[in-house]
Amino acid sequence: MAAKKILVVDNEEYIQEVTKICLENTTKWQVITASSGLEGIKKAETEKPDAILLDVMMPGMDGITVFKHLQENSDTKEIPVIILTATIQTSDNYRYKDLGIKAAIGKPFSPLTLAQEISQALGWEN
């Protein structure tokens, strides 16, 4: 499998670091990070990642609003998005799927299985 580029958008620096370390140490993926929704949108446009891991609860612009902006942009609308969230409820999963979000991964996540969860959600060979 060719090396993938993953954009992690999360206002918590710790989550960015843990995600970057675990994905880069368990795969050949390149991980780039953004600390806000606006920064995430800009990096999605310039970096053209293969997927985006997007936190739901962020100050300023929440993850769902970021996702909607990404969908409205022809340069970013085809990038698959996986939500990272501290709370996953069945009703939220249905809402995410209806919006076009590929999956939701709960925080805290397992660093050992994160890459596998992403690959499975996106239909990538692991």
pLDDT digits (tens, 9 = 90+) for 47-76: 999 999 999 999 999 999 999 999 999 999
Q: Once rounded to an integer, what is the mean pLDDT over residues 30-57?
A: 97
Which CATH number does 1-17+27-86+101-109 carry? 3.40.50.2300
pLDDT digits (tens, 9 = 90+) for 4-25: 999 999 999 999 999 999 999 9
Q: Where are the domains of the chain?
A: 1-17+27-86+101-109
Q: Does the structure show a pLDDT above 60 at 1?
A: no
Q: What is the pLDDT of residue 89?
A: 67
DSSP one-letter string for 15-26: HHHHHHHHHHHH
Q: Is 103 left (phi over 0), alpha (psi -120 to 50) or beta?
A: beta
Kindly report the pTM of this predicted structure.
Answer: 0.92
Whose CA is closest to 81, among 40, 46, 21, 109? 40
Q: What is the pLDDT of residue 125?
A: 75
pLDDT digits (tens, 9 = 90+) for 69-122: 999 999 999 999 999 988 766 667 777 888 889 999 988 888 889 999 999 999
Q: What is the pLDDT of residue 96?
A: 82
Cα radius of gyration (the chain): 13
What are the residues whose beta carbons fall under 8 Å from the beta carbon of 87, sequence distance 6 or more? 106
Count of CB atoms within 10 A of residue 76's CB? 21
Burial of residue 37 (number of CB atoms within 10 Å: 0-12, 13-18, 19+):
buried
